[in-house]
Structure 1
Amino acid sequence: MSSAVRIARGLGALALAGAATGLAAAPAHAEEYRYWSFWTADTATHGGGGWTYATEGPSTARPADGGVAGFRFTVSADSARAAKPRAAADFDAVCGGTKAADGRKRVAVVLDFGTAADAPKGETPPAARTECARVPEDASAGDALAAVAAPLRYDSSALLCAISGYPKTGCAEQAGGASERERSTESAAPDVGASDEHTGAGGPSAGLIGGIAAVAVLGAAAVWQARRRRG
């Protein structure tokens, strides 16, 4: 393996690591963004009910029967400062009355639309609610969300922008920054199972998208250099 390839792979790994944590070590002056964060039940919490920031996006997370997926509309610069869903991550409270079925699984979905302070200008957050999604065994958390909280809205990068139509416009725009129309690059919602949004991996998905882009550029450069040296 050439040194160029080794260097590119090492830099690529660092880029992905930074993206996967959503720049959790963001400086104090980092810009805050308004976005949907993704949470899962904290299995380390005694008796259940706690939340942990998801380590992957809802399109790839595949909870088992009895899983809990939480979504909170929040304003923050990184995962360390993101607000958790205010309802407990309690599967029985949400899905206790839903019977199991062959070939299906039950996922408790907790939706917290945030506070009035979190809301974009001119919008009022809907009341928080919980839903029990009964979906195919191989369904993702995103599939469960789509089953109980339509309509969903995504941007052209497959970033989750709205749940149950909230907010009406905008997608992970800076809080107090440019207008939502200027920052949003919206499109029709893609297939949830195939989307690559990462709302729950710590802060806005821009970090993840940027990391992937960096890996692609570094990889291409390494291959070009290796071929040039062999030539």
Structure 2
Amino acid sequence: MRRASTIVAVLAGLLVAAVGAAPAQAGSGYRYWSFWEREADARSWTYATQGPSVARPGDGETIGFRFAVSEDSRNAVQPRGAADFDTVCADTPAKDGSKRIAVIIDFGTAADAPRGDTPPKKARTHCARVDERATAGEALAAVAKPLRYNSAALLCAIAGYPSSGCGEKIGTRGTDTGTGGGGDDKSGDGGPSAGLIGGAAAVVVLGAAAVWQARRRRV
């Protein structure tokens, strides 16, 4: 059993090393919609710690979405422009039973666009009046349909952009891995979590096999 435990530990260590090393590849990243928040009176964006389907911004707050290629939240690209709640919702008065949320949508640049798609040139700003308990996703849906999500609840498209793909792995900025450049890598639709989940499953299977072998030798 001690030998089996050692094998499991080694396999787990290899998994951690592999997962931790992946983001360090030069120029690698993911093409996706990043989600940002800005509280009332705040001047800078904060990368959201919850997804839009869970976060519940309050009245007077601003949410932003930017489509770009980024390695992770630390270097994610923020929405451009100086629009804030007072500007976006200037003509939308407060109303009992609802809240107002400023929504900023930055479709990014042509360099970050998937092959066959061209991003709208101008960012969009909307003042969403929604129920007091509405999520950021519901506020976004109120002003920028159609939205598209994948099976893991990752936001894939806003106002129909991009037309396909979701969180593809990119080998170099703007270039999908394994496609010869510019095409959609459908294997990347699961995003970073897919590799981690698959690796963890492999450790469980191999670890179980090691334990079984150890028990068999003792019998």
How far did residue 79 of structure 1 move? 1.2
Distance 2:125 2:26 in 1: 35
What is the CA distance between 1:121 and its match in structure 2?
1.4
- Separation in structure 2 between the aligned mates of residue 89 and residue 62 of structure 1, nearest angstrom: 20
Partner of 1:80 in structure 2?
74
How much does 1:205 deviate?
Answer: 5.7
The ranges of structure 1 where at least 4 consecutive aligned residues each deviate by more than 4 angstroms after the TM superposition are 208-211
Equivalent residue, structure 2, for 1:199: none
Which whole-Å CA distance do the structure 2 matches of 1:137 and 1:59 have between them?
Answer: 15
CA gap of 1:122–1:106, structure 2 versus 1, over 3 A, is: same
* 1:76-117 alpha-carbon deviations (Å, 9 max, x no partner): 111121110002361101111101111100000000000111
Aligned to 1:41: 38
Segments of 5+ residues of structure 2 without an aligned counterpart are: 1-11, 208-219
The Cα shift of 1:74 comes to: 1.0
Question: Is 1:131 aligned with 2:126?
Answer: yes
- 2:143 is matched by which residue type in structure 1? V
Letter in 1 for 2:154: L
> 2 CA distance for matches of 1:88 and 1:82?
18
- Which of 90, 93, 98 does residue 99 from structure 1 map onto? 93
In the TM superposition, 1:1-231 aligns within 5 A as 26-27=23-24, 29=26, 31-41=28-38, 48-88=42-82, 90-126=84-120, 127-175=122-170, 176=175, 177=177, 178=179, 179-180=183-184, 182-183=186-187, 206-207=192-193, 210=196
- Measured against aligned partners, the alpha-carbon deviations of 1:175-212 in whole angstroms (never above 9, x if no partner) come to 32244263376xxxxxxxxxxxxxxxxxx96349957x
- 1:92 and 1:208 map into 2 onto residues whose CA distance is 40
- The alignment's TM-score, normalised by the length of structure 2, stands at 0.70
Between structure 1 and structure 2, the one with the greater Rg is 2
Residues 184 and 206 (structure 1 numbering): CA distance in 2 closer, same or farther, change over 3 Å? closer
Q: Report the Cα distance in structure 1 between the residues aligned to 2:116 and 2:62, rounded to whole angstroms.
A: 31
Structure with higher RCO (Cα < 8 A, 6+ apart): 1
Is contact 1:169–1:181 with CA below 8 Å preserved after alignment? no
Determine the C-alpha separation between the residues in 1 that align with 2:194 and 2:35: 14
Tell me the distance in 1 between the aligned counterparts of 2:141 and 2:37.
17
| Cα distance, 1:205–1:100 mapped onto 2, change above 3 Å | farther
Name structure 1 gaps, 5 residues minimum.
Answer: 1-10, 16-22, 186-203, 222-231
Q: What is the distance in 1 between the residues matched to 2:195 and 2:38?
A: 25
Q: State which drifts further: 68-77 or 30-39.
A: 30-39
RMSD of Structure 2 on Structure 1 (CA): 3.2
Counterparts of 1:80 and 1:113, CA distance in 2:
20
TM-score (normalised: structure 1): 0.66
Aligned residues of 1:152 and 1:161 also touching (Cα < 8 A) = yes
Alignment check: 8 A CA contact 2:108 2:119 kept? yes
Identity of aligned residues (%): 55
Q: Deviations over 1:100-145 (max 9, x none)?
A: 1111000000000001111111211112110000000000101100
